[in-house]
């Protein structure tokens, strides 16, 4: 009983600590990147309304409402999905001065918008997040992603990468953010769409090998054992995970984009993934590993994942060597 009382007191103290940081009237100002003053004003207006509404919803202990805000159904759904899993609010910045980026498919993008995710089940280290807002050419809110830090964005364009077209680079960047956001919001439908019907899912796990009886020193060695699943098997497993966990947070680092040397619409994306899951009973699960995605951009607006692999970060006490991590040339491509 005393333990429970202490937990409630601690939770209340944490609530008020975050409450003190919350801003309920946020102003977004665009400092550069757009010459059209009408569209600039629309972006500032809709962005400010949305971020203010998130703070007000937190204050009033309700879900956000979007009346009077020019926001697409897709962006609204993303916000509500995040809210239902975590409860989100903007952090203690009442004025956001941001540069507006031009999107190659038309419209604009505003990055590096800090938010706090408030839930007693979320580890402290995961509560500070950033979102990215895409706006249409008219200034209405089009899409929202949980975005990567600025240094991670820079690293997605690897030195020497043969992707020359800016539109394709930006599309890959956006896809990686959509992909991460879909896991964090448990968007099973989106993931079921982007994994191709022929997708191969490969997962590695570390197993111990006991030396034979003749070995002078019987020190167990580790090796990676790989298990292959079909898309159907993987998606069924993912549906179960989404139904049983309270909270998922994925962090991507060391992102590298590879273009296939022969099939230029095929790309490999490799990144280190930090997976952090909390269950309803408070138990958690974490792992760190390398994820590889083989993606087909033949239809640039609807990329498809043909291969997904996961490999553990370490075995035998050492980091996985770069040459052991799957790459776009690790797999044969047939029937092109």
| Residue 169, pLDDT above cutoff 80 | no
Q: What is the DSSP letter of 217?
A: S
Q: Does domain 188-330 have CATH number 3.10.450.50?
A: yes
Distance of CA 113 to the CA centre of its chain: 15
Residue 20: exposed, middle, or buried by beta-carbon count in 10 A (0-12, 13-18, 19+)? Answer: exposed
User: ∠ CA(79), CA(81), CA(85), 5° rounding?
Assistant: 115
54's CB contacts (< 8 A; 6+ apart) are 64, 79, 88, 89, 90, 115
Residue 327: exposed, middle, or buried by beta-carbon count in 10 A (0-12, 13-18, 19+)? Answer: middle
Express each pLDDT in 103-136 by its tens digit.
Answer: 877 899 998 888 877 665 666 767 778 889 999 9
In this predicted structure, what is the pLDDT of residue 335? 55
SS3 131: strand
222 forms bridges with which residues in the sheet? 208
Q: Mean per-residue pLDDT for 294-309? A: 91
Decide the pairing of beta strands 284-296 and 304-312: antiparallel
The edge-to-edge listing of strands for the beta sheet with 245-259 is 221-230, 195-209, 304-312, 284-296, 266-279, 245-259
User: ∠ CA(205), CA(209), CA(212), 5° rounding?
Assistant: 165
Which tokens belong to 94? 């009442």
Predicted TM-score (pTM) of this structure: 0.75
In this predicted structure, what is the pLDDT of residue 75? 93
Residue 191: exposed, middle, or buried by beta-carbon count in 10 A (0-12, 13-18, 19+)? Answer: buried
Looking at per-residue pLDDT, the higher value among 204 and 138 belongs to 138
74's CB contacts (< 8 A; 6+ apart) are 142, 143
**Domains of the chain, residue spans:** 2-147, 188-330
Q: Would you place residue 50 in the very low, low, confident or very high pLDDT band (cuts 50, 70, 90)?
A: very high
Express each pLDDT in 17-28 by its tens digit.
Answer: 454 445 578 899
Q: What DSSP letter does each residue of 272-283 carry, written as one string?
A: EEEEEEEETTS-
Quickly tell me which residue has 């600025």 as its tokens: 150
Residue 13 main-chain phi, psi, to 5 deg: -60, -40
Half-sphere exposure of 199 (CA within 13 A, CB side): 26
- 53 close to 64: Cβ distance less than 8 angstroms: yes
- 324 close to 303: Cβ distance less than 8 angstroms: no
Express each pLDDT in 213-225 by its tens digit.
Answer: 554 455 456 777 8
| Residue 137, pLDDT above cutoff 90 | yes
| Residue 51, pLDDT above cutoff 70 | yes
- 250 close to 274: Cβ distance less than 8 angstroms: yes
Please report how the helices 166-184 and 73-86 are oriented relative to each other, as an axis angle in degrees rounded to 10. Answer: 40
| Residue 310, pLDDT above cutoff 90 | yes
Half-sphere exposure of 95 (CA within 13 A, CB side): 4
Question: Which helix (DSSP H) or strand (DSSP E) does residue 111 occupy?
Answer: strand 108-117
């Amino acid at each position: 009983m005393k333990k429970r009382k202490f937990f409630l007191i601690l939770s209340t103290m944490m609530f008020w600590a975050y409450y003190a940081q919350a801003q309920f009237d946020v102003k977004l100002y665009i400092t550069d990147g757009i010459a059209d003053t009408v569209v600039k004003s629309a972006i500032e207006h809709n962005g400010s309304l949305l971020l203010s509404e998130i703070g007000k919803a937190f204050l009033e202990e309700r879900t956000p409402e979007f009346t009077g805000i020019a926001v697409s159904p897709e962006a609204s759904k993303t916000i509500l999905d995040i809210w239902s899993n975590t409860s989100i609010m903007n952090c203690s910045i009442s004025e956001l001065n941001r540069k507006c980026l031009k999107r190659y498919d038309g419209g604009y993008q505003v990055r590096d918008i800090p938010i706090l995710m408030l839930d007693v089940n979320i580890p402290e280290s995961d509560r500070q997040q950033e979102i990215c807002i895409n706006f249409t050419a008219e200034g209405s809110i089009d899409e929202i992603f949980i975005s990567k830090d600025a240094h991670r964005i820079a690293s997605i364009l690897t030195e020497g990468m043969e992707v020359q077209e800016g539109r394709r680079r930006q599309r890959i960047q956006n896809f990686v953010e959509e992909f991460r956001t879909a896991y964090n919001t448990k968007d099973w439908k989106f993931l079921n769409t982007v994994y191709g019907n022929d997708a191969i899912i490969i997962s590695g796990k570390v197993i111990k090998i006991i030396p034979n009886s003749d070995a002078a020193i019987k020190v167990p060695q580790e090796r990676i054992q790989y298990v292959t699943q079909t898309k159907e098997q993987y998606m069924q497993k993912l549906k179960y995970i989404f139904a049983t966990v309270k909270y998922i947070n994925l962090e991507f680092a060391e992102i590298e984009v590879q273009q296939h040397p022969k099939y230029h619409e095929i790309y490999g994306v490799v990144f280190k993934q930090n997976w952090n899951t909390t269950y309803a009973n408070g138990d958690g699960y974490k792992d760190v590993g390398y994820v590889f995605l083989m993606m087909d951009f033949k239809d640039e607006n609807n990329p498809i994942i043909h291969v997904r692999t996961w490999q553990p970060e370490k075995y035998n006490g050492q980091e996985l060597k770069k040459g052991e991590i799957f790459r776009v040339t690790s797999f044969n491509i047939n029937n092109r």
